[in-house]
Amino acid sequence: MIVIENLVKRYKDVTALQGLNLEVKPGQIYGFLGPNGAGKSTTILSTLGLIFPQQGRIQLFDLEVFRDGKYDEGKLVEAKRRIGYMPEHATLWDFLTPVQTLDIIADAFKIPKGEKEKRIRELIELVGLEDAKDRKVGKFSKGMRQRLLLAQALINDPDLLILDEPMNGLDPMGIAEFKDIIREQKKAGKTVFFSSHILAHVEEVCDTVGVIVKGRLVLEGSLEKIKEEFLKKAGYVIIIETNKPVDLSNAPWNVSPLGENKYRITASSDVREDVHDFITSKGAKILSMQVKEPSLEEIFLKVVE
């Protein structure tokens, strides 16, 4: 869906992308993470042909739209017909209503009139702007503007949805609705690529994560795989609860009590079978056992460091 190879973008003395390699596969919800200035927006703008990198290659829908400083305008236009884009900073027409705004954007995609009107009604309802559909956008709150921007990104029923910090300004209800919309896009067979600095949002909806630091992708993979690899490197934390007190003073792991008959065990590898055998040898039973998974935030901070 998106393939980026060895992409380089320099702004005078600043190199924003340093040989970036990235791949977004069909049907993924890909969370693109990185600290401020890492190159997230530059990557998105380059993918859409809105800025010119100096080197590298970009492929969209099996079409090579960019190679070494030159865009193929024909292929780029063809690909962008299938893309919906929600920018982080966008200027809306304050003197128009949501319906008028979406009407203009639908015309740009040459959507037939009957289909256009139906699509606009559906999107206004989807993003929760029914009560404001005839109100001027200039009177909208930040959250309402974000809802309208999402609607315009969906107007052409895109196969690929690219979202740059899409949940900024939304209230908790709006965030929950937004996540539902993203999940529904995946169910419909769409691909979603979005950048965010709010890690909890990414962890809840994404199946794949990429972390960019100083213009390079330093981590990429499924959340499950990333957490598994992190556990192997950082060590396992195992929480157990037994049916009676157990003397763990001579256990071959680091052990700390968490309460009555509850213990925290840390080890360099997955020792759950060994823990079970050790507890059984003490004449006790394990009532519960779990591996404490690292949060995406913990992994992100470690990678960025």
Q: Are 18 and 46 contained in the same domain?
A: yes
The pLDDT of residue 223: 83
Supply the pLDDT for residue 232: 76
pLDDT, position 73 = 95
In this structure, the answer to whether residues 153 and 128 fall within a common structural domain is: yes
Across residues 243-262, what is the average pLDDT? 89
Q: 228 lies in a domain?
A: no
Mean pLDDT of 174-197: 89
The verdict on 164 and 261 lying in the same domain is no
Mean pLDDT of 232-259: 88
Query: Is a pLDDT exceeding 90 seen at residue 84?
Result: yes
Whether 255 and 291 share a structural domain: yes
Last-in-domain residue among 222, 247, 266: 222
Binning pLDDT at 50, 70 and 90, where does residue 198 land? Answer: confident
Place 239 in a pLDDT band, splitting at 50, 70 and 90.
Answer: very high
Claim to verify: residue 102 and residue 38 sit in the same structural domain: yes
Q: Establish if 35 belongs to a structural domain.
A: yes
Judgement on whether residues 114 and 241 belong to the same structural domain of the protein: no
Q: Which residue, among 265, 216, 302, has the nearest Cα to 16 in the 3D structure?
A: 216
> Is a pLDDT exceeding 80 seen at residue 150?
yes
Do 130 and 198 belong to one domain? yes
Single residue among 174, 192, 222 that ends a domain in this structure = 222
- Residue 86 shares a structural domain with residue 131: yes
DSSP assignment of the chain equals: -EEEEEEEEEETTEEEEEEEEEEE-TT-EEEEE--TTSSHHHHHHHHTTSS--SEEEEEETTEEEEETTEE-HHHHHHHHTTEEEE-SS----TTS-HHHHHHHHHHHTT--HHHHHHHHHHHHHHTT-GGGTTS-GGG--HHHHHHHHHHHHHTT--SEEEEESTTTT--HHHHHHHHHHHHHHHHTT-EEEEE-S-HHHHHHH-SEEEEEETTEEEEEEEHHHHHHHHHHHH-EEEEEEESS----TT-SSEEEEEETTEEEEEESS--HHHHHHHHHHTT--EEEEEE-PPPHHHHHHHHH-
Residues 52 and 158 reside in one and the same domain:
yes
Place of tokens 């107007």: 155
Query: What is the CATH classification number for the domain harbouring 277?
Result: 3.30.70.1560
Q: Which residue has the higher pLDDT, 192 or 300?
A: 192
pLDDT of residue 43: 95
User: Please, what's the b/e burial string for 23-56 (b: 16 or more CB within 10 A of its CB; e: otherwise)?
Assistant: bbeeebbbbbbbeeebbbbbbbbbbbbeeebeeb
Q: Mean pLDDT score of the chain, rounded to an integer? A: 90
Mean pLDDT of 2-14: 94
Amino acid at 298: E
pLDDT above 90 (res 24): yes
- Lowest-confidence segment of 164-178, 183-197, 266-280 by average pLDDT: 164-178
Greater pLDDT, 193 or 224: 193
Q: Classify residue 144 by its DSSP letter.
A: H
Lowest mean pLDDT among 101-105, 115-119, 213-217, 227-231: 227-231
The predicted pLDDT at position 55 comes to 95
Query: Band of the pLDDT at 5, cuts 50, 70, 90?
Result: very high
Owning domain of residue 127: 2-222
- 229 lies in some domain: no
Mean pLDDT of 216-224: 88
In a domain, 112, yes or no: yes
CATH number of the CATH domain containing 185 = 3.40.50.300
Supply the pTM of this predicted model.
Answer: 0.81
Alpha-carbon torsion, ordered 262, 267, 273, 278, to 10 deg: -60
* 96 Ramachandran zone, left/alpha/beta (phi>0; psi -120 to 50): beta
Percent of the chain topping pLDDT 90: 57
Domain match, 9 and 152 both: yes
Tell me how many domains the chain contains.
Answer: 2
Q: Which of 222, 256, 288 is the last residue of a domain?
A: 222
Q: What is the mean pLDDT of residues 167-180?
A: 83
Query: Does residue 246 sit in the same domain as residue 131?
Result: no
